[in-house]
Chain A
Amino acid sequence: MTQHAVDLAPPIALPAGVRRRLTSAELAGLAGLGAIALLPIPFGSFGFFVGQFALVYAILGLSVVVVTGYAGLVSLMTYSFAGIGAMVTGVAMASWGWPFWLALPLAAVATVPVSIIVGVTAVRLKGLYLAIATLTFADALGETFFKWSRATGGQTGWVVSRPKPFVSDVSYYVLLLAVALGLVWMVTGLRSSRMGRAMLAVRTNEREAQALGINVYKTKLTAFLISGMLGGIGGGFLALLLKQVTRSAFQSPLVEATSILLVTVVVVGGIDRALGAFLGAVALVVQQQVFQGARFFFAYFGIYSAGLLIVFLLYRPGGLMQVARLQWRLIRARPRVGITVAVAIVAINVGVAWLFVRLG
C-alpha cells in the first residue's frame, strides 16, 4: 500500500548535458538559504548567531533527510551523533591541539562505530524496532559517553575557536554557508544515484525492492552510516557555535528532545529534500529565537513545533517544498486566490508568533 504521495524531483544531469530549469520548490529552498545568508545585514551580530544556528540545524537536518527522508528509517539519535561530533571536535582541538580541518573528519568517523552497532542490530527488523533502538541508545549514550570526563572535558568542557583564516564573523559565516551548501549538493547528488534510488525504493516498498535485487539491509545500514557522519559533521560546527562544549548540552532527554526538533525541521522543510532543510531551519530556528522572550519558552515552543509536526505530517507530508510547489501552481492558475493564500499563510505565522510573545 502506498505512502502519502511525496512528490519527487526528476533525476539530474541527463546524458546529453541537458540543463533544466530549477523547480519552484528548489527556488523556495534557495530562497530559504538566501534569507539565512542575509540575516546579519539587518540584525547584526544577533543575526549572525541566529543564522549560524539555522545553518548548523540545516546540516543536522541533512542527517535526517538521508536516514528518514530517503531510506524511511526513524532515528531518534541524530543529536547524539551531533554530540559525539561536538565532543570529538572538542577533544581533538582543545586537548590534542588539532586544527579544525583534521578534527572535523575525525568527528564524522567517530560516529561510525555507534552507527554500526545500532544499525546492524536493527536493520533486519521492522522500522519500529530501529526507532526503539535509537531511542534506547541515545539514552544509554547520555549515561556513558556524555558522562565520561575524558571525552567531555569534565564540568568545564572544551573551549574551541574558529579555524585560522575564518576568525571574523563575516568570513566564518561565509565558510559555514559554503559548507552547508556543499553538503546539500552532496546529499542531493546521492538521491540521483544507484544507492540513493535504492534507499527511496526501500522506503516506499521493501518487498518490491528485494524483488528487484536490492540488498535492503546494506542499503539501510549505508543510510544510517551516512546519516551518522553528517550528524558528526554538524556536531563539529555546533561545537564552534557553542564555543564551549559542555556535556550538559547533550544530556538525555535534551538529546531526544532536540533530535525530535531536528525531525520537525526536516518534516516542515520537506523530508526527502536536502534543500528543504534550509526552509525548515529558517522556519523553526527563527521562530525559536522569536519565542526566546516568552516566559515558558520551552513549553510554548514545544507546543508550536509539535503542532507544526503533526499538521505537516497529516496534510503536507512533502513539507514547505510541497507547499511552495502547490502554491506556485495555484498562483499560476488562479493568481488572485494564490496570492491571497500566500499572504494569509505569512500573516498567520507572524500573528501566532506575536501572540505567543505577548502571552509570555
Chain B
Amino acid sequence: MSEPLLEVQDLSVRFGGITALDHVSVTVAPGEIVGLLGPNGAGKTTLFNAISGFQKPDAGRIALAGEDIKHLLPYERVAAGLGRTFQHVRLFANLTVRENLLVAQHRHLSSGSLSAMLRLPAWRRDEERAQARIESMLDMIDLRAWETSYPPALSYGTTRFLELASVLSLDPLVLLLDEPASGIQQKEVEALGPLLRRIRDETGCSIMLIEHDMSLLLGLSERIYALDFGRVIAEGPPDQVTKDARVLSSYLGRTRRAHASA
C-alpha cells in the first residue's frame, strides 16, 4: 500500500467522564474508499469532527498528505485538502441553490472587498470564473431545475446532492461523508453509490464514509473499519469485517435504532 493520504494515529477524545474515542488509528490511501461502521454512539461522527477540526482531541496525531493538521482550524484543513459533509444537512437556507454553490467557490477566488465594491476587473474575472464553474456543477449533479430555489423547498435527497456538490467544489483530496444516504429515498440511495464511485474515479479523491445503509457501505467500500465504544474493533475488506464475531455482537448486543436519526 502506498503512503497513506490521511493518517490518524492513537486519537483520543474525552468529554467530561466519557471517552468518545479511545486510541483510534485509521488510514486512508490516495483514491481509496474506506467505510466506517458501528452502532450509534460508537464515535464515528466524533472521529469525523476531530479530523475536520470541529472537535479538539485530547491525544493522538492527524496527518493529511504527510502534514500534521491537528493544530489547524477547520477552514485551514479545507485549504489543506479536506472536505466533509454533516449528518444533518447544513446548507445556507437563506441562499438560493445557485448562491450556495457560489459560496463554495470561495477557495478558488481571490478578489477582495475593495475590488468588489468598485467593480474592478479582478472582481469581474472572479465572478465569471465562479459562475462558469457552478454551471457545470449544476448540470453534473442535476440541480439545474432548482437553481433559484431555496433549500427548504427542496426534497431532502436533493439537499444532500447540493451539499455534495458544494463540498466537491472544494477540490478535496479526502472527502469525509457522514451518512450520505440517511433520510433519502431508496431510488436516490441506489444512485448514490455509482455517483460516489464516479466522483472518485474522475477526481482521484479518497472517500471515507460513515453509513448505516449496509448495501451502500459494503458495495462501495474497499476497506472497512468497525468501531464500537470509541475503539476500532475490526478492520479489513467488507466480507471479512461483516463476518467478524466482535462486529456482529456489537450490533446485536445494543439497541440499534434505524439509521434515520432525529
Contact = CB atoms under 8 A, between A and B. Distances in A.
11 contacts: A5-B150, A190-B117, A204-B94, A205-B93, A207-B54, A211-B84, A211-B90, A213-B78, A213-B106, A214-B103, A226-B113
B106 A193 contact: no
A6 interface: yes
Interface SS of chain A: helix, strand, loop or mixed?
helix
Contact of A222 (B73, B93, B113): B113
Interface of A: 2-3, 5-6, 8, 10-11, 13-15, 186-187, 189-190, 192-198, 200-201, 203-205, 207-216, 222, 226
B1 interface: no
B117 A187 contact: yes
A200 B106 contact: no
A10 B148 contact: yes
Contacts of B167: 211-212
Nearest to B108: A194
A186 B118 contact: yes
A212 B116 contact: no
Given A5-B150, A210-B73, A213-B170, A201 B103 contact: yes
Interface in B117-159: 117-119, 123-124, 126-128, 130-132, 148, 150, 152
Given A204-B93, A205-B92, A208-B92, A13 B127 contact: yes
A15 B128 contact: yes
Contact of A189 (B84, B112, B117): B117
A216 B73 CA distance: 10
A3 B105 CA distance: 23
B260 interface: no
B127 A190 contact: no
Contacts of A216: 75
B248 to A, nearest CB: 34
Contacts of B52: 211
Most chain-A CB neighbours within 10 Å: which of B104, B106, B110, B152?
A: B106
Given A211-B84, A214-B106, A15 B92 contact: no
Contacts of A189: 116-119, 123
B161 interface: no
B79 interface: yes
Interface in B3-42: none
A15 B131 contact: yes
Greatest chain B CB density within 10 A among A8, A189, A194, A207 is at A194
B87 interface: no
A10 B123 CA distance: 17
Given A11-B98, A194-B116, A211-B52, A200 B123 contact: no
Contact of A196 (B92, B116, B119): B116
Contacts of A6: 94
B256 interface: no
Interface in B51-66: 52-54
Sorted nearest first, the 9 A-B pairs with minimum C-beta distance are A193-B116, A213-B78, A186-B117, A2-B93, A210-B74, A194-B109, A208-B90, A195-B113, A204-B92
Contacts of A13: 124, 127
Given A2-B93, A210-B54, 20 more contacts: A6-B94, A8-B94, A187-B117, A194-B105, A194-B110, A196-B116, A201-B106, A204-B93, A204-B94, A207-B90, A208-B91, A209-B75, A211-B52, A211-B90, A212-B106, A212-B170, A213-B106, A213-B170, A214-B106, A226-B113
Contacts of B90: 205, 207-208, 211
A212 B98 contact: no
Contact of B131 (A14, A204, A210): A14
Given A210-B75, A212-B170, A213-B170, A193 B113 contact: yes
Nearest to B83: A211
B124 A213 contact: no
A183 B255 CA distance: 60
